C-alpha cells in the first residue's frame, strides 16, 4: 500500500441519545445519509452485523470495510484498498469518539473531521421534532 501511516482520535459532544447515535452508525439507511458524498453498494443489510463486508467509493477511490466487532457502545471496521487500517467508533449519551488508523495517500484526519461534522449535524436534525403535516 502506498501512502503514510496516519492516526487520528477525535471525540465530540452531540445532542443525541445513545440509541440515536448507535442507529446512525449501524443502520445503513442512516449512515448513507450523513456519509454523503461517499457511495455505498446496493443490497447492504438494514443493520450492520459482525462479518458484514462492503466497499464504499469516494470518486475513484474504493475502500473495503469489514465489520470486525460490534458491542453495545462500539463498532470496529477493518479497512483495505484505499485505506489499509481500522476505524473504531465508541459512543455514549451525548458523545461520539472516532479512532482512525491506517496507511493511505488520503488525508485521513481531514476526512474524519468532515465526517464527524456531518454526523453531528445529522444527529441534531434527528433529535429535533419534525413538523406535523396537515392534509
The pLDDT of residue 13 is above 80: yes
- Region 103-125: mean pLDDT is 92
pLDDT digits 0-9 by tens, 47-104: 999 999 999 998 888 999 999 999 999 999 999 999 999 999 999 999 999 999 999 9
Burial 83-109 (b: 16+ CB within 10 A, else e): bbbbbbbbbeeeebbbbbbbebeeebe
pLDDT digits 0-9 by tens, 36-49: 888 999 999 999 99
This prediction's pTM: 0.88
Distances (CA, A) of 104 to 58, 73, 110: 14, 27, 13
The pLDDT of residue 16 is above 90: yes
- Tell the CATH superfamily of the 4-127 domain: START domain (3.30.530.20)
Domain map (residue ranges) of the chain: 4-127
Amino acid at each position: 500500500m502506498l501512502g503514510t501511516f496516519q492516526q487520528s482520535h477525535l471525540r465530540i459532544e452531540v445532542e443525541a441519545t445513545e440509541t440515536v447515535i448507535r442507529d446512525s452508525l449501524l443502520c445503513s439507511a442512516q449512515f448513507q445519509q450523513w456519509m454523503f458524498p461517499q457511495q455505498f453498494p446496493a443490497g447492504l443489510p438494514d443493520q450492520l452485523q459482525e462479518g458484514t463486508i462492503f466497499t464504499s467509493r469516494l470518486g475513484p477511490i474504493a475502500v473495503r470495510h469489514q465489520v470486525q466487532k460490534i458491542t453495545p457502545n462500539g463498532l470496529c471496521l477493518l479497512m483495505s484498498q484505499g485505506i489499509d487500517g481500522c476505524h473504531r467508533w465508541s459512543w455514549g449519551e451525548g458523545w461520539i469518539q472516532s479512532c482512525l488508523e491506517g496507511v493511505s495517500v488520503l488525508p485521513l484526519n481531514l476526512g474524519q473531521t468532515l465526517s464527524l461534522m456531518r454526523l453531528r449535524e445529522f444527529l441534531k436534525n434527528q433529535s429535533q421534532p419534525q413538523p406535523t403535516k396537515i392534509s
